[in-house]
Chain A
Amino acid sequence: MIAQFYQAHSDILLFAGAAAVKVLVLLNVIMGFTALLTLAERKVSALMQDRIGPNRASVFGFAFDGLFHPVADGIKMLVKEDFVPAKAEKLLFTLAPFFALVPVLALFAFIPFGDYVMVFGYQLDLQIAQMPLSLFFVLAFSGLAIYGVFLGGWASKNNFALLGAMRGVAQMVSYEVVLGLTLVGLMMIFGTAGLQDMVRAQGRLLFGFLPGWGVFYQPVAFVLFLTAAIAENKRTPFDLVEGESEIIGYFMEYSSMRFGAFMFAEFIEIILVSMLATTLFFGGWQVPWLYDTGFIFPWGSTLPLNHYLVAALQTGAFAAKTVFFSWFLLVVRWTLPRFRFDQLMALCWKVLLPLALLNILVTGAVLTALK
């Protein structure tokens, strides 16, 4: 009977199984990378400031230059007192960390981390949710993350937390607009809103030798996107949401792992922004001049490669680009001083938004002229 059931529904069962495997693998990779990123943040900042950084947490005397610090941090977060203020809205207070964490995790479903692999004759697309309009879903889900901030600030029933939440919502809503508009130019050029289709389109060569990555078509949009994405991520120089010396932040009343969830969401967002920047502007999993059958160099020589090797190279390239952008975002965070809140809003509405609109206009004009 089971065999019959499998016979009847083999395609959907295979699809479900493959999706479950992809979700499990990707989620674990992301979580592990996030934990390492919390260490990397401290290490990178230390190296930039001529310090060594954390290197003391050890297991049986082996410290591995601080590799156990994420574990120690996690244990510390889990065993701390889980405090809920007496006047807080208990339900929303509990829900807010989930609202912060779940949308950013869900967003990884739309990111293509490779082209496809053939497993026993089954074509496994290396993207969890193959949707033709995934870019809009990305924007929609990143908009959901605002709820985490606002519910957290409001449910705490603390004026400072509410103030921090108001700042956060104002900032995220404003930069959401710029974030969406910067990507319109890319959609016009590639003629699609599917992330996988966009990456495939970036495999074409520009002038016969340059990889056709989004950044070469839309350099202005890339700068705007990166700025808006950092602001969306609520990190320095746009970390007005938290201010130790003034309002502390929307997570002021949160302790233990509830606070940890907010912090974790922020670090996951770094990875997400890196992956989006890679996917949209740096060719995603594309390796320059690498095609399905191997390398075809612009000077004529070729290097045929096995299908699995090609897939591994492409996924590796995506991972490497993501790691690079994560590192870059850390360096930016530890280099620039923060804005004042009015400067933040002025930058968004008076500088980034007009530039984004101008970018769309110029892109449209050029595309029409070239047609």
Chain B
Amino acid sequence: MISVKKVDNKPLGPLERIYLLEVARGLAVTMRHFFANFFNRKGMPTIQFPEQPSPLPGNANLRTRHRLKIRADGSPKCVACFMCQTACPAYCIHIEAAEYPENPAEKYPAVFDIDLSRCVVCGMCVEACPEDAIAMDTRELPGGVEARSELLLVKSALLRNLPGEPSLKGAANRLANEYLKAGGEK
């Protein structure tokens, strides 16, 4: 069903056809804006972004720079299951797994790189993670760097806890801690 909108353009009146009066009215509008902003620079809605951070709206906070959560014992929560790497539509995650020598039941990422220059900030990795190890809630907006290499996040740059973490709640966390406390029994 095509909807047709009939536009009812009024024909120009004699004053409008002279054009000069309309020019003056247009100039009045723009000059009003000019002087209002000229004498009240602070009143403009512009935010000087990197220096002057602005709160992100709602769920946009969950689409910011990645981080890897850390357990209470300092080990990464990530178990190098490759779920995020598989889910990533932009192929920006690179993981190399390794085993704890004392605990062969659990792996850890020896290398965990996120190439932010490829990342599409879709949040699929967060959705895919079974361990709740990766999160995108740092509220930092990446970008604006002088070299491409600065857009490569390596493991050390990713490992970070927010205030109030590590939380000792949660099954995965508890089980892992119990494992380690038991000295990695088989």
Contacts and interface: CB of A to CB of B under 8 A. Distances in A.
Partners in one complex: yes
Interface of A: 44, 47-52, 223, 331-332, 334-336
Nearest to B37: A47
A60 to B, nearest CB: 17
B30 A335 contact: yes
B14 to A, nearest CB: 14
B34 A47 contact: yes
Interface in B8-42: 20, 23, 26-27, 29-31, 33-34, 37-38, 41
Contacts of A335: 23, 26-27, 29-30
Contact of A331 (B20, B31, B45): B31
A336 B28 CA distance: 12
A223 B18 CA distance: 13
Given A51-B44, A52-B46, A336 B26 contact: yes
24 contacts: A44-B34, A47-B33, A47-B34, A47-B37, A47-B38, A48-B30, A48-B31, A49-B33, A50-B33, A50-B37, A51-B46, A52-B44, A52-B46, A331-B27, A331-B30, A331-B31, A331-B34, A332-B27, A335-B23, A335-B26, A335-B27, A335-B29, A335-B30, A336-B26
A119 B165 CA distance: 80
A50 B30 contact: no
Contacts of A52: 41, 44, 46, 48
Contacts of A332: 27
Contacts of B45: 50
Scoring A44, A49, A334, A335 by chain B CB atoms within 10 A of each residue's CB, the highest score goes to A335
Contacts of A49: 33
Nearest to A47: B37
List of 6 A-B pairs having minimum Cβ-Cβ separation, nearest first: A47-B37, A335-B30, A48-B30, A52-B46, A48-B34, A335-B26
A47 B38 CA distance: 7
B91 to A, nearest CB: 34
A318 B45 CA distance: 36
B172 to A, nearest CB: 46
Nearest to B22: A336
Contact of A223 (B20, B33, B38): B20
Contacts of B38: 47
A214 B49 CA distance: 49
A50 B26 contact: no
Nearest to B27: A335
Contacts of B20: 223
B30 to A, nearest CB: 4
Interface string B111-147: 0000000000000000000000000000000000000
B118 to A, nearest CB: 27
Nearest to B35: A47
Contacts of B41: 52
B158 to A, nearest CB: 30
Contacts of B27: 331-332, 335
B23 to A, nearest CB: 6
B146 to A, nearest CB: 14
Contacts of A47: 33-34, 37-38
Nearest to B23: A336
A44 B23 CA distance: 18
B44 to A, nearest CB: 6
A334 B30 CA distance: 8
Nearest to A351: B19
Nearest to B44: A50
A50 B20 CA distance: 25
Contacts of B34: 44, 47-48, 331
A47 B36 CA distance: 9
A335 B30 CA distance: 6
Contacts of A334: 30
A48 B46 contact: no
A218 to B, nearest CB: 16
A320 B93 CA distance: 61
Given A335-B26, A335-B29, 19 more contacts: A47-B38, A48-B30, A48-B31, A48-B34, A49-B33, A50-B37, A50-B44, A51-B44, A52-B41, A52-B44, A52-B48, A331-B27, A331-B30, A331-B34, A332-B27, A334-B30, A335-B23, A335-B27, A335-B30
A51 B23 CA distance: 23
Nearest to A327: B34
Scoring A48, A49, A334 by chain B CB atoms within 10 A of each residue's CB, the highest score goes to A48
Interface string B41-64: 100111010000000000000000
A49 B31 CA distance: 10
